Amino acid sequence: NAGVTQTPKFQVLKTGQSMTLQCAQDMNHNSMYWYRQDPGMGLRLIYYSASEGTTDKGEVPNGYNVSRLNKREFSLRLESAAPSQTSVYFCASSEAGLAGEQFFGPGTRLTVL
């Protein structure tokens, strides 16, 4: 099992450009998440998908959109990138059980100039 995979690993954008971050999991998990990690701060939830066909906003959704393409894949789109979106982005997935342990991908390091 590959677990949670993310592409790309690194990306540099200019202000105003758009891009989509891809995430896939092979653990048959129902729930998937997108976080951003900024220096000196914990991970903050951008969007999540409790199950295939549903998506909801997290703490910091502004400037982002998501698509839950199928059970395996959950993408994050930046329509018009801004320097404030420079961050490391992590995708995670979890089973719906009581503990609900989340498994994380390796991250995408995004720089917006």
Partner 1 sequence: GEDVEQSLFLSVREGDSSVINCTYTDSSSTYLYWYKQEPGAGLQLLTYIFSNMDMKQDQRLTVLLNKKDKHLSLRIADTQTGDSAIYFCAEKMVYGYNKLIFGAGTRLAVHP
Q: Which residues in this chain contact partner 1 in the complex, by CB under 8 A?
A: 4, 31, 40-45, 48, 50, 56, 58, 90, 92, 94, 96, 98-107
Q: Residue 86 Cβ, how far from partner 1 at the closest point, in Å?
A: 17
The distance of closest approach from Cβ of residue 112 to partner 1 in the complex, given in angstroms and rounded to an integer, is 20
Find the shortest distance in angstroms from Cβ 55 to partner 1: 11
Q: At 82, which amino acid appears?
A: A
Q: Is residue 78 within 8 Å of residue 63, measured between CB atoms?
A: yes
Minimum CB distance to partner 1 smaller for 10 or for 14 = 10
CA distances from 112 to 12, 17, 20, 94, 98 (A): 6, 9, 14, 30, 38
Neighbours of 77 (CB within 10 A): 13
Closest to partner 1 by CB, 42 vs 53, is: 42
